[in-house]
Amino acid sequence: MKNSKRFEGVIGRYRDDSKPDWPEPFHAPAGAPNVLVILLDDLGYGQLGCFGSDIATPNMDGLAAGGLTYTNFHTTAMCSPTRSCLMTGRNHHANGMACITELATGYPGYDAVIPKEHGFLSEVLAEQGYACFALGKWHLVPDEETNMAATKERWPLGRGFERFYGFLGGHSDQYAPNLVYDNHAVDPPKTPAEGYHLTEDLVDRAIEFVTDLKNVDPAKPFFMYLAPGAMHAPHHVPKEWIDKYKGRFDQGWEKWRESVYQRQLEMGIIPPGTDLSPRPGWIQDWEALSPEQQKLYARFMEVFAGFLEHTDHHLGLFFSFLKEIGQWDNTVVLLLSDNGASSEGGPHGSINESRLYNWVPYTLEENLREMDKLGGPDSYPNYPWGWTWAGNTPLKRWKRETHEGGVADPLIVHWPAGLGTPGEKRRQYVHVTDIMPTVLDVLNLTPPDVIRGVVQTPLHGVSFVPTLGDAQAEDRHLIQYYEMMGCRAIYCQGWKAVTWHRPNLPMVPPVSFNEDVWELYHVAEDFSECHDLAEKYPDKLRELQDLWWAEAGRYNVLPLDDRGTQRFFDPRPKPFPDRSVYVYYPFGAPVSEGAAVNVKNRSHTMEAEVEIPSGGAEGVLLAHGGQYGGYAFYLANGRLHYVHNFLGIEQYKISSEETVPEGPTRLTFAFEKTGAEPVGAGGVGKLLINGREVGRGDVPRTVGVRYHLADDGLCCGYDDQTPVSDDYRPPFRFTGRLKRVTVTVEGPAWYDPEIELKLALAKQ
CA distances 668 to 611, 695, 726, Å, are: 14, 10, 21
Query: How much is the pLDDT for 5?
Result: 75
Angle at CA 215, nearest 5°, toward 211 and 219?
Answer: 100
Q: How far apart are CA 37 and CA 673, in angstroms?
A: 51
Q: Has residue 353 got a pLDDT over 80?
A: no
Q: How far apart are CA 399 and CA 299, in angstroms?
A: 22
Q: How far apart are CA 107 and CA 548, in angstroms?
A: 19
248, 226: one domain = yes
Domain range for residue 622?
A: 581-748
Is the bond leading into 234 cis (omega within 30 degrees of zero)? Answer: yes
128, 249: one domain = yes
Closest CA to 574 of 50, 143, 285: 143
Q: How far apart are CA 686 and CA 704, in angstroms?
A: 20
Query: How much is the pLDDT for 686?
Result: 98
Q: Has residue 709 got a pLDDT over 70?
A: no
Q: How far apart are CA 50 and CA 120, in angstroms?
A: 30
DSSP state of 2: B
300, 179: one domain = yes
- Pairing status of strand 163-167 against strand 131-137: parallel
Residue 626's beta-bridge partner residues?
629
Give DSSP secondary structure letters for 51-89: GT--S--HHHHHHHHHSEEEEEEE--SSHHHHHHHHHHS
Q: Does some domain include residue 41?
A: yes
Residue ending a domain, among 569, 600, 620, is 569
- Pairing status of strand 487-492 against strand 495-499: antiparallel
Sign of the dihedral defined by the CA atoms of residues 81, 82, 85, 88, in that order: negative
Query: How much is the pLDDT for 753?
Result: 54
Query: How many other CB atoms are there within 10 angstroms of residue 329's CB atom?
Result: 12
Mean pLDDT of the chain: 93
Q: Has residue 506 got a pLDDT over 70?
A: no
- Global pTM reads 0.93
Q: Does some domain include residue 723?
A: yes
CATH number for the domain harbouring residue 532: 3.30.1120.10
Residue 496's beta-bridge partner residues?
491, 521
CATH number for the domain harbouring residue 618: 2.60.120.200
592, 695: one domain = yes
Count the domains in the chain: 3
Q: Has residue 484 got a pLDDT over 90?
A: yes
Q: How far apart are CA 462 and CA 458, in angstroms?
A: 11
Q: Does some domain include residue 497?
A: yes
Q: How far apart are CA 378 and CA 363, in angstroms?
A: 18
Q: Does some domain include residue 406?
A: yes
Query: Count of residues for the chain?
Result: 764
Query: How much is the pLDDT for 370?
Result: 87
- Pairing status of strand 163-167 against strand 479-484: unpaired
Query: How much is the pLDDT for 352?
Result: 80
Q: How far apart are CA 180 and CA 168, in angstroms?
A: 7
Q: How far apart are CA 261 and CA 278, in angstroms?
A: 12
Q: In what order do the strands lie in the sheet with 519-521?
A: 479-484, 487-492, 495-499, 519-521
497, 537: one domain = yes
Q: How far apart are CA 152 and CA 23, in angstroms?
A: 30
181, 132: one domain = yes
Least reliable range by pLDDT among 75-79, 145-149, 215-219, 238-242: 145-149
pLDDT, tens digit (0-9, with 9 covering 90-100), for 550-591: 999 999 999 998 876 556 556 677 777 788 999 999 999 999
223, 360: one domain = yes
Average confidence (pLDDT) over 112-127: 97
Residue 357: pLDDT band (50, 70, 90) is: low
Average confidence (pLDDT) over 78-84: 97
Average confidence (pLDDT) over 434-453: 97
Q: Does some domain include residue 15?
A: no
Q: Does some domain include residue 12?
A: no
Residue ending a domain, among 469, 496, 518, is 469
Residue ending a domain, among 469, 496, 519, is 469
Q: Does some domain include residue 236?
A: yes
Query: How many other CB atoms are there within 10 angstroms of residue 333's CB atom?
Result: 24
223, 355: one domain = yes
Query: How much is the pLDDT for 647?
Result: 87
489, 447: one domain = no
524, 623: one domain = no
Query: How much is the pLDDT for 100?
Result: 87
Are 82 and 338 spatial neighbours (Cβ–Cβ below 8 Å)? yes
pLDDT, tens digit (0-9, with 9 covering 90-100), for 398-412: 999 999 999 999 999
Query: How much is the pLDDT for 704?
Result: 79
Query: How many other CB atoms are there within 10 angstroms of residue 574's CB atom?
Result: 10
Q: Has residue 763 got a pLDDT over 70?
A: no
CATH number for the domain harbouring residue 456: 3.40.720.10
- Give the rounded distance of the alpha carbon of 710 from its chain centre: 10
pLDDT, tens digit (0-9, with 9 covering 90-100), for 599-636: 998 999 999 999 999 999 999 999 999 988 999 999 99
585, 455: one domain = no
Average confidence (pLDDT) over 101-111: 89
Residue 75: pLDDT band (50, 70, 90) is: very high
Q: Does some domain include residue 257?
A: yes
560, 653: one domain = no
